[in-house]
């Protein structure tokens, strides 16, 4: 009887999460932790940011390099610790600032995570990078990350390291820079960049918490590395503004910081996270992710978005061009059409870019039904379609 009561009491104890740093990726996890009933505490540098965190329903702790008694108290009862504090030349500033090993403070921690970056790999000349490869960072950022990773792995805590590709999501994408006229399409032949949507970072971390595997490293990327200019041009097309001007990466108008991102190029493999955690990115490429980002920024919950292109044969291209004006007019006239754009590509006459949105899945299906026997359907029936759709 006493044992059963003790077991029930243990189940009723609220678990505690401590977020060391409450930046973009960490903040995205807070609603998930709140929903699961965790008590959440997070460090931040300013009172203004602390107030914002309190508005999210969590404990905010001002941290400027010294562990206060309040922070030490939370660390002492933390079941989960996640650090996203950026490293410096000496490695991890939080660990370096402790007066005793973290393992002596956080004795209860069952899962510890550190958000790192794929800059630790250095240059792979466009080849795939895997977690167990020798690290050869070229940039100072990458060297700092490598030192911090090692420090966390040596804490004797159940640490899990996540090497993140370029992070984007709502209010952190190319859209604002494009609207302000500050975006540039920087060209370096052969250069590609890896990306990960912030929601997919959250889902991977949460799956790891449910399936701990201490001292394990996971790459997180969508698996669809692409040229930076393709991404910025797609974003411009999506919000229907002129594509940004093109600059060579050696152009004097590019800052040294921006140019440093072109020193390395690699493809990030995330198979380990998929196999071991059962994780799959919700947004498999930048097109899906950017559509979801814009949809979220607009506050849309029911809309369906489609983007991509169709490839026409030389025999069909003239018929497609003739049918296109009527196809556009009739689609735009549909009551629940948000926008509908199809245009012939400027560099490939056989390619027609497509972007469309409807107010609901039902509206999208009505559109498909109307088109089924249209002239457009007939003349484009042999075209190869490459579409991404979200919201269905």
Cα–Cα distance for residue pair 189/64, rounded to 1 Å: 42
d(CA 283, CA 222): 7
Q: Give the tokens for residue 163.
A: 């090497």
C-alpha gyration radius of the chain: 24
3-state secondary structure of 200: helix
**Residue 342: what pLDDT?**
97
- Residue 7 confidence (pLDDT): 46
Give domain limits for the chain.
Answer: 11-171+194-225+266-283, 300-390
What local confidence, expressed as pLDDT, does residue 3 receive? 52
User: Which fold would CATH assign to domain 300-390?
Assistant: Alpha-Beta Plaits (3.30.70)
Pick from 195, 192, 190: nearest CA to 223: 195
CATH number assigned to the domain covering 11-171+194-225+266-283:
3.40.50.720
* pLDDT recorded at residue 188: 86
The Cα 293–Cα 171 span in angstroms is 8
Task: Tell me if 385 sits within 8 A of 308, measured CB to CB.
Answer: yes
Pairing of strands 337-344, 216-220: unpaired
Q: Is residue 227 within 8 Å of 246, Cβ to Cβ?
A: no
Query: In CATH terms, are 11-171+194-225+266-283 and 300-390 the same topology?
Result: no
Query: Rounded to whole angstroms, how far apart are CA atoms 262 and 202?
Result: 27
* pLDDT by residue, tens only, the chain of 392 residues: 445 544 444 445 789 999 999 999 999 999 999 999 999 999 999 999 999 999 999 999 999 888 999 999 999 999 999 999 999 999 999 999 999 999 999 999 999 999 999 999 999 999 999 999 999 999 999 999 999 999 999 999 999 999 999 999 999 999 989 999 888 888 888 999 999 999 999 999 999 999 999 999 999 999 999 999 999 999 999 999 999 988 887 775 777 777 777 889 999 999 999 999 999 999 999 999 999 999 999 999 999 999 999 999 999 999 999 999 999 999 999 999 999 999 999 999 999 999 999 999 999 999 999 999 999 999 999 999 999 999 99
Strand partners, 118: none
Using alpha carbons, select from 68, 22, 65 the residue that is nearest to residue 41: 22
Is 129 in contact with 268 (CB distance < 8 Å)? yes
Could you read off the pLDDT of 314-351 as tens digits, one per residue? Answer: 999 999 999 999 999 999 999 999 999 999 999 999 99
CB 224 within 8 A of CB 270: no
* The pLDDT of residue 187: 86
> What is the DSSP pairing of strand 246-248 with strand 185-187?
parallel
Residue 12: predicted pLDDT? 53
CA 24, CA 39: separation in Å to the nearest integer?
19
């Amino acid at each position: 009887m006493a044992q059963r009561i003790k077991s029930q009491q243990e189940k009723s104890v609220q678990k505690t999460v401590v977020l060391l740093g409450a930046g973009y990726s960490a903040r995205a996890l807070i609603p998930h932790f709140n929903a699961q009933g965790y008590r959440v505490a997070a460090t931040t540098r300013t009172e203004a940011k602390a107030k914002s965190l309190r508005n999210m329903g969590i404990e905010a702790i001002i941290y400027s390099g010294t562990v206060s008694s309040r922070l030490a108290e939370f660390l002492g009862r933390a079941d989960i610790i996640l650090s996203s504090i950026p490293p410096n030349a000496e490695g991890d500033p939080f660990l370096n600032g402790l007066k005793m090993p973290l393992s002596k403070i956080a004795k209860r921690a069952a899962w510890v995570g550190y958000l790192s970056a794929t800059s630790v790999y250095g240059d792979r000349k466009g080849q795939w990078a895997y977690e167990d490869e020798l690290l050869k960072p070229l940039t100072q950022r990458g060297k700092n990350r490598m030192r911090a990773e090692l420090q966390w792995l040596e804490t004797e805590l159940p640490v899990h390291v996540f090497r993140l590709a370029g992070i984007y999501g709502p209010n952190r994408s190319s859209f604002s820079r494009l609207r302000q006229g500050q975006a540039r399409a920087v060209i370096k032949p052969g250069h590609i960049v890896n990306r990960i949507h912030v929601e997919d970072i959250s889902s991977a971390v949460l799956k790891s918490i449910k399936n701990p595997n201490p001292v394990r490293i996971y790459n997180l990327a969508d698996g669809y590395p692409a040229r930076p200019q393709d991404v910025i041009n797609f974003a411009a097309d999506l919000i229907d503004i002129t594509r940004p001007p093109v600059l060579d990466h050696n152009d004097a108008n590019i800052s040294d910081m921006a140019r440093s991102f072109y020193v390395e190029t690699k493809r990030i493999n995330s198979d380990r996270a998929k196999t071991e955690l059962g994780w799959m990115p919700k947004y498999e490429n930048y097109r899906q992710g950017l559509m979801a980002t814009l949809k979220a920024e607009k506050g849309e919950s029911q809309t369906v978005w489609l983007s991509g292109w169709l490839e026409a044969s030389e025999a069909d291209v003239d018929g497609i061009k003739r049918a296109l004006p009527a196809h556009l007019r009739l689609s735009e006239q549909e009551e629940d059409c948000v926008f509908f754009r199809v245009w012939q590509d400027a560099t490939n006459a056989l390619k027609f870019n497509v972007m469309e949105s409807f107010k609901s899945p039902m509206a999208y299906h009505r559109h498909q039904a109307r088109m089924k026997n249209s002239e457009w359907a007939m003349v484009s029936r042999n075209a190869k379609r490459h579409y991404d759709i979200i919201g269905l």
